[in-house]
Structure 1
Amino acid sequence: MKKLYAILLFGLICNLCFAQDSLDKEKLLEFYQTQRYAEAASYLSSIYPPETNDVKALAQIAYCNMMAGKLVDAEKNYQKINQLQPQQFAVLFSLANINSRRGNKKSASDYLLQVVAIDSNNFSAYKRLADYTDSTGLKTQYLQKANKLNATDADVAFDLAFIHRTQKNYQPAYDVLKVAIAADTSNMILQQALLPVANQLKKYNEVIVTGEKLLKTGADGNVVMDVGKAYFFLKNYKKAIGFFQMLERMSMQNESVFYYMSLSYREMKNYEMAVKYAKLTIDESISPNITAYYNMLGGIYDEKQQLTLAANTYKKGLSYNANKNIYYRLGLLYDLKLKQPKQANTYYNLFLKSKDLEADDQPQVDYVKMRMEEFAKK
């Protein structure tokens, strides 16, 4: 028996030595340098048997498979390493990365939670955990932990400040960004993120100084808006209008821009322009589909036999835009259900005069004409 064990041990040693001696390190290096990772993985797999427990070999094969995009094979290799030598950070991070790339965020998070269970101060794990969760509460918790461990990391500071801002916690958002900006004074992304927060905290002069410096490198619409608002709140309405007009020239006007322009002109007693932009504010705030929505709602009331409510709802839709479908439905409502032919005739007429009638509307057109002829005979 001892002789048999000796023979088996000798064979294993010989096989291991053979595998190591036959490895062409220069060939492997060439694969790495030319980023031919799939070939490198195949080459290593041809040297080391599938049942190998050589952790270094498995790590090389796993890495090459991962870099080659062969994620299933890479995961199998890393899982085997994790079984042989558990709790290795590099392996757990690699498994988390692979699962993330495959869309399995839960498994990715599970591997990272194993990391923080071993090292509760692992910044990278908390940073990635924040990326992998859809829970705002957990994301905030992970980002706060990561930010506490490294307050100068720009990505964490930006994401954490964004959450604070959406929750209207403006002072914490401001504080987080200021620390990160102090560590990287040339980071324009962080400085831009600071502007709307600073406006909320009434730090208008800071917004103007920072914003105008940023605009020297390029006219970003969000920066222009923040600076314009800062001038507005400082009651420098002429300056504010100048920035808002810049947004118009950039075709970046919206409801908010028109609103502040109307208020600025009103404060300057230019009521004609104030009215113009007030109307534009209203137009911009109304969905182009609102008439169709009222048409839908009116139809529901119509089916429920709430006829007066249906008529009023249809008419509300017409107060925004003319609509052939609403004219037709109102005609039918007054004709067939409310028995008011005069009103029905009015809306049938408006339907026929609609400029957007199409070939598909011909059956409705024929019906309306027939009904109007019948009205005329009575």
Structure 2
Amino acid sequence: MQALTTGRIEQVALHVLRAPIEEPVRTSFGTMTDRPSVLVGVTDHEGASGWGEIWCNYPVCGAEHRARLAAEVVAPQLVGRSFDDPSAAQRFLVQATRVLALQTREFGPLDQVLAGVDIALWDLAARRQGRPLGEVLAGGPVASRIPVYASGINPHGAVTTLQRARASGFDAFKVKIGFEAGQDRRTIAALLAERGDQEHLMADANQAWSLPEARAMVADLRGSGLEWLEEPMPVDTPVADWRALAACSAIPLAGGENLASVAGFDAAAEAGLLSVIQPDLAKWGGFSACLPIARRVLEAGRRYCPHYLGGGIGLIASAHALAAVGGDGRLEVDCNPNPLREQLATPFPGIANGAMELPSGPGLGVVPDGAALRDWETLCLTA
């Protein structure tokens, strides 16, 4: 078998894309008025290429900031170098940016840049082998279909959105809550009434509540049959409060998109604070850090359900991660209109009967459509 090398990196390109949307995407902490994406393209000395995606949903200026960090700080560290495998590149880049992160306190943006670069390097390495990325990550064959759920359901028009997602092939749905308590209860009640016998419903509060508020909500929702309640409290809430909430909640608690350390994930899994653990590989760690964590999550008897809300490259990367790790987790698929999802990952896989087809071509098995890059690109930087 060909070694899992990156080849000598000849070029790194950063593409910032923005697509307008009619209906904003609302959360308890902010609103997205367009759909942004930062793509990373890496090319080696033999002309092989790989694609990654950097999380950039917030703040409004986040995409451009992360692209410049990637182009001006990280990419020059890669060009002209080769690595025995993508994890070696990740370790090198973490060390190379360590002092800058301490000096600037830009831990989050740098983590996100390194995560997107890691995805691109794994895609490149798998393409060099001519094998699907999920198979490379797993060390053997993986499932061809991945369970999915529709996320990003706003309170306004939630029932209509669920119906539209159902017609698109979904049988599991996650609604945004964490706004006003009465509104949250009405939204969940309406969706529970609409939910079919074989369908699943989850709720995401996006870190909105204090412990007393979260306790009141889980008491109201006892017996609802929600599959999980996601991020009911801020990620930095004291562990004692998380233990108290977990002890009184009949609904499994979920979270992880805002954890950003191996120790944090291990503690969440081992202490039993979260039943469903959701690292976002475009936000922190890439494949190199998130896959070992996901495997330990399963070993601890928890569910691994990758978090994701962005463009198509990061979504398909998350699908390969879930396929490689296995378990009974679901892949998050934003059900709101977003041309940067389908057009940046072609051919986009189909969804039917609650599952997505895993692309079977080399690497991620998808590439951005060139016309889409031209249509939506607002900034391109190369190193």
TM-score (normalizing by structure 1): 0.22
Larger % of strand: which?
2
Of structures 1 and 2, the one scoring higher in RCO (CA 8 A, sep 6+) is 2
Larger Rg: 1
